[in-house]
Every structure is written in C-alpha cells, then in structure tokens.
C-alpha cells in the first residue's frame, strides 16, 4: 500500500458504500449465491460486485474478469501488476450465525516473490478474500477510535471497524494472524501458504465467528454484523505481478 499512512488510508482502501435495501426474505446467503462468478458471462464482472480502489489512486487498478476454465467451470481471474484494487460485494449489515462458514476455492498461478506482510515495503498479497464487519468502537483504544472517526468523516463512508482478510502468503505458516502494518483495523489470516500451484485448485472452508474472534477477540466478545465481502490482490508496494483465480464464495449458515 505505497504511500498510505495509518487507519485513514489503510481502511479507505476497503471503503464500502451504503448497500441498497434488500427484501426481508432476501438472505445474505441467497444473495451471494445469486451473484456467483460461475453464473456470469465471460468478460467483465457483473453487478452487484464492483471494483474499489483508493481515493485518487495514481497507480493501476488490479484487474478482475470472469473467465472459462480448462475444467469447464467459470471463475474470477485476478491480475495484479504493480496495482491495487478490491472487488466488493455489499452484504448488509447482516447478522451471522455463530456457526456460519465461508467457503470458496482458489488457485495461485503466479505469486509475488518480494511480498512480506510484516513489512511496509512488502505489504502485498497475490490473493485475498476479505470479510468486513461493523464492530462497535467501544472495545478499541481511544487512539484507534479517534483515527477511525476521522477516517469516516474525511471519506463520508461507513468504513469498517474490523476487516479480516484471508490471504495466500509465501512466508507465514498457515493459520497465522498478523495485523496490517498500516492499520490494526485490518488483520490477515493465512489461509493459503507457500509457492504458487499452477492449475491446482485449493478448497477453503473457514468458521467466520471463530476466525473473527481469534483476530479481534481482544476488542470484542461478540460477532458483529457483516457489511461486505471483498476479493482482491495488490502488488503496489513490491511492484510485482501476480495471477490468481477464485471460484464462487458461498456462505453456509445452519
């Protein structure tokens, strides 16, 4: 995240506009299923998914498109080239069941040789799936609360107080949780580990409440409403180039 400092800029990268109101019986799981990548035509990603970059972003946006795969399925292709960007799905606010799980499959074709999520110069990810939560501010430190309020005022957006990003990382062990080096409002959880695996799908099945409380449990004891999902990749710090494919995101609630 080149040139970004503190919560104001780091959280702006995942800004979420207010979603349209949904019918009472239009559940999040159903809406997400209706927006499957596998149901889209090849080419540009269809709404309600939308590409979000940084305000006034000078460098390229990460590129997203829907593409037929060799196995006959259709999936999302993500190409980062010294770029930044997220593909966002407005979700709520929606209260999740404590046993809710998020499932998808992904494939890393080309990784980022210089990425290191523990450093500012290496803070890039070739593949990530993020879950954005409307967490109350009262469990945060006074400094964190103040920074987030300033960010919200400057952006005019309901910026999330807690964002958990599942990432594919080349260095950290699977299951590791680390804070974003620019903002503790974003935490990374390593869900894919190691070098690229061209042509090889890797399934992921995550317990959302358990993962959220591992990452943010020192600030809250409850699972807050989910406000958005995002899929992305960034290579703006390292200047690298990555290529990945993501299948449908499915929310499973009892």
CB 130 within 8 A of CB 229: yes
Per-residue pLDDT at 2: 45
Per-residue pLDDT at 152: 66
Whole-angstrom distance, CA of residue 51 vs CA of residue 8: 20
Q: How far is CA 232 from CA 132, 150, 168, 198, 226, in A?
A: 13, 25, 11, 18, 18
Per-residue pLDDT at 20: 45
Per-residue pLDDT at 147: 73
Per-residue pLDDT at 183: 81
**Secondary structure class of 112 (helix, strand, coil):** coil
Positive or negative CA dihedral for 189, 124, 179, 173? positive
Tens of pLDDT along the chain (254 residues) come to 444 444 444 454 555 544 444 433 358 999 999 999 999 999 999 999 999 887 778 889 999 999 999 888 999 999 999 999 999 999 878 999 999 999 999 999 999 999 999 999 999 999 999 999 987 767 767 767 767 777 666 655 667 779 999 999 999 999 999 999 988 889 999 999 999 999 999 999 999 999 999 999 988 888 999 999 999 999 999 999 999 999 999 999 87
Residue 193 host element (H or E):
strand 186-193
**Secondary structure class of 89 (helix, strand, coil):** strand
Closest residue by Cα to residue 138 from 32, 214, 221: 221
Report the C-alpha dihedral over residues 57, 58, 60, 65, rounded to 10 degrees.
30
Whole-angstrom distance, CA of residue 207 vs CA of residue 88: 20
Structure tokens at 35: 């927006």
Per-residue pLDDT at 245: 98
- pTM of full prediction above 0.85: yes
Per-residue pLDDT at 146: 67
CB 249 within 8 A of CB 102: yes
Question: What's the fold here for domain 6-252?
Answer: Jelly Rolls (2.60.120)
């Amino acid at each position: 995240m080149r040139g970004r400092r503190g919560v104001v800029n780091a959280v702006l990268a995942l800004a979420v506009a207010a979603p349209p109101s949904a019918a009472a019986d239009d559940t999040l799981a159903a809406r997400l299923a209706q927006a499957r990548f596998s149901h889209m035509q090849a080419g540009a990603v269809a709404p309600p998914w939308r590409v979000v970059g940084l305000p006034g972003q000078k460098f390229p946006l990460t590129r997203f498109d829907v593409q037929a795969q060799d196995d006959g399925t259709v999936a999302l292709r993500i190409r980062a080239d010294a770029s930044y960007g997220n593909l966002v799905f407005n979700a709520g606010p929606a209260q999740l069941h404590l046993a809710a799980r998020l499932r998808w499959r992904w494939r890393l074709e080309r990784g980022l040789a210089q990425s290191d999520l523990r450093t500012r110069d290496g803070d890039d990810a070739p593949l990530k799936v993020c879950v954005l939560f409307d967490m109350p501010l009262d469990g945060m430190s006074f400094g964190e609360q103040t920074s987030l309020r300033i960010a919200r005022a400057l952006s005019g957006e309901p910026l999330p107080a807690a964002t958990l990003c599942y990432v594919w990382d080349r260095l950290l062990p699977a299951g590791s949780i680390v804070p974003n080096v620019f903002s503790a409002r974003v935490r990374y959880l390593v869900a894919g580990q190691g070098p690229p695996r061209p042509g090889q799908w890797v399934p992921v099945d995550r317990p959302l409440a358990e993962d959220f409380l591992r990452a943010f449990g020192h600030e809250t004891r409850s699972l807050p409403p989910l406000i958005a999902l995002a899929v992305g990749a960034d290579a703006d710090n390292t200047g690298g180039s990555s290529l990945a494919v993501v299948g449908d995101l499915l929310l499973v609630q009892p």
